[in-house]
Amino acid sequence: MTVKHSHVEANGVRLHIAEQGEGPLVLLLHGFPESWYSWRHQFTPLAEAGYRVVAPDQRGYGGSDAPDAVDAYTLPHLVGDVTALINALGASDAVVVGHDWGAPVAWTTALLRPDLVRGVAGLSVPPLPPAGMPAISVTREIYGEDFYQVRFQSPGEIDAQMAADPAAFLRRLLYTASGDNPDDRAMWMITQGQPLLESLADPEQLPAWLTEDDLAVFTEAFQGPGGFTGPLNWYRNIELNQGLLAAFQGRTVDVPALYAIGDRDMVARMRGVDFLRENLHLVAPRVYGNLTLPGCGHWTQQERPAEVNAALLNFLADLEKDDR
């Protein structure tokens, strides 16, 4: 079986999708700064197990549309893309799996549309209903003005620095946030006035899980219409998401759920994540697993494909049993 590529109209945008297999639908949602290709190791194992695996380039990324308006990248827009994609693919429901930014999209889709989500899995980012992550006003107070999410708020400067040398930026970030980087800096800080690349380690060689060909695919994705501005606009709506989703405060993720994170992931060191993990059953009462992957950094499904695939296949098999 090979991965097929096509475009689908969903929620007013044209999304590029990669697809393999037949059977119940499994949607794989990538994070920043990635693309459908971050799931390259998951397609064949899941398809061979009897699932229809679809990974879109999400709104603003790669071969998908990138609206100009900053506020076209709110979490309700992103959830709307997922629900419309499920319908456009002719499915009645899906198991939705997300990594990094894709995880809040997956968790929130399950929160708002449990009728469409048979099960949900989040990699790296745990569920934090209803808006997916803390407000920028909170992270600014905790981590300061140099925290990367805070620095991403102003359009222009950061976008241009990333776009000036996409390959160098991606090479450094993918290495810096991986489990292969021996530096245990707690957070990604971008010092005011310092060039972006200086905030990231420059590897002598790529880690074993990332080849030069892989890096070339990711780099090409940011030559698309969204460049880096579309993806960065997701961050520029974090504060707005708090108000848009305030009515759902107190709601839980009531579909079957799975969570996994590497013990060397920066997210694991963020304030409050340990508490969220300890109380995951309160947010997601039907949690099947709360997994820690030793030695794994932020790029969960790329760094540890065998472990992630095994966890997903076990989760999917349990869902099939429950459906009988």
Q: Check pLDDT > 90 for residue 184.
A: no
**Residue 183 pLDDT class (50, 70, 90 cuts):** confident
Mean per-residue pLDDT for 311-318?
A: 97
- pLDDT for 55-107, tens place per residue? 999 999 999 999 999 999 999 999 999 999 999 999 999 999 999 999 999 99
- pLDDT for 281-305, tens place per residue? 999 999 999 999 999 999 999 999 9
- pLDDT for 222-243, tens place per residue? 986 779 999 999 999 999 999 9
- Report the alpha-carbon distance of residue 127 to residue 253 in Å, rounded: 8
Give me the domain span that covers residue 249. Answer: 4-323
What pLDDT sits at residue 230? 96
Mean per-residue pLDDT for 38-62?
A: 98
Q: Check pLDDT > 90 for residue 187.
A: no
As annotated, the active-site residues are: 100, 298
Helix (H) and strand (E) counts for the chain?
A: 14, 8
- Give the count of domains, the chain: 1
- CATH number of the domain where residue 94 is located: 3.40.50.1820
C-alpha pair distances (Å), 219 with each of 52, 222, 324 = 27, 6, 44
Helix (H, G, I), strand (E, B) or coil at 224: coil
Indicate the angle between helix axes 212-221 and 166-176, nearest 10 degrees.
120
Sequence-distant (6+) residues with CB within 8 A of 265 are 124, 177, 179, 296, 297, 298, 300
What pLDDT sits at residue 139? 95
